[in-house]
Amino acid sequence: MKINKLAPTFLLLLTTALVIAACKKEDEEGDKSSFDKKALLTNLSENMILPAVNQYNEDVNTLLVDFQDFEQNTTAQQLEIVQESWKQAYLSWQTVKIFDFGPIRDIGMKGATATYPIDTSQVNDNVQSGSYNLASLSNVDAIGLSTVDYLLHRQGALDSLQNNAKVVDYTADVIGKLVDESNTITTEWSSYQSTFNNSTGTSSTSAFSKLINEYNRDFELAKTAKVGVPLGKQSLDVPLPNYVEARYGDLSFDLLRASLVALKKVYNGQSFETGNDGVGMDDYLVHLEENDLDNMIDSGFQEMIDKTDEFSMTLEDALENDTQRMNELYNMLQGQVVHIKTDMTSAFGVLITYQDNDGD
């Protein structure tokens, strides 16, 4: 009898608890839904993505024009001009590569533009045969900015470009492919912009979810491919200098820094051209009262940038002569993964849908 008398009371308490939990969930969801994610996406598309895409397009077209000038005037001085144009295009790419969805994903541009290390044997075989399809899967390691790096900066590059027409033709074809793809996404992103701005949901197919996923993926690639693999984090701490990005042109630290700066600017919603603040992921976290997390992410990016600036040698030299600081840099990168991939995405209610193989 006592149990029967207590039953209504228990049911009342249980119902009350469920109502409180439901209200709490509604409040949390209300906090998320009350943030203007369209303003975030619009700011990024107008002030970061399209300007970055346009800048890369300008830079890679300049690279093509400068190489065409070199074909008419194969001097060391003109080659230096081409090398500088390659550098500017590669640095511009560090921002564009973050946005591997929509038009960029549709044409597989990220893998085709900067896959490294390249297969130098495949490149040389293509040059020698003079017959190749640069769009084929078999040539994914023989195209892009990294291949241009090899052709412009390898030992004896000037001599081979002056005296081997096949090398000139192959270099021109690789650069031409970069230009064609850049022209395509420059046009298509303008058409995609409205779709991007208005796709504010958290499902895996929404633009907001794809943005957050690719933002995280790009950071992890910076951590793993730019630093971790060359440092030996996947080879029992045995350094792998052959895996250094832009190894021939000694641009590795510059690219790492440019990548981190771009990621920081995207996080803060800063303008690509002016650096002025707009609506960014930081504002969303502050709206959700995640101020401490926001501070950790923002300061973490700056600490990594500052650490990168400490190196006055090439990354390949640092693998051999400054492993302690390289490990410190890697640990900073590793720590940031938790903040942006676990804590930030959880706060946003976004599910990470990509797979990585580096054992976070």
Q: What are the tokens at 22? A: 């439901």
DSSP 226: I
Is the whole-model pTM more than 0.85?
Answer: yes
pLDDT in tens, 33-80: 689 999 999 999 999 999 999 999 999 999 999 999 999 999 999 999
CA 195 to chain centre: 21
pLDDT in tens, 185-219: 999 999 999 999 999 999 999 999 999 999 999 99
pLDDT at 295 over 70: yes
Quick one: pLDDT band at residue 355, thresholds 50, 70, 90?
A: confident
| Amino acid 12: pLDDT | 47
pLDDT at 359 over 90: no
Percent of the chain with pLDDT over 90: 89
Q: 19: exposed, middle or buried (C-beta count within 10 Å: 0-12, 13-18, 19+)? A: exposed
How far is residue 274's CA from residue 75's CA, in Å, rounded to a whole number? Answer: 36
Domains and CATH numbers, the chain: 36-348 (1.20.1420.20)
pLDDT in tens, 125-138: 999 999 999 999 99
pLDDT at 255 over 80: yes
DSSP 275: -
pLDDT at 227 over 60: yes
How far is residue 71's CA from residue 67's CA, in Å, rounded to a whole number? Answer: 6
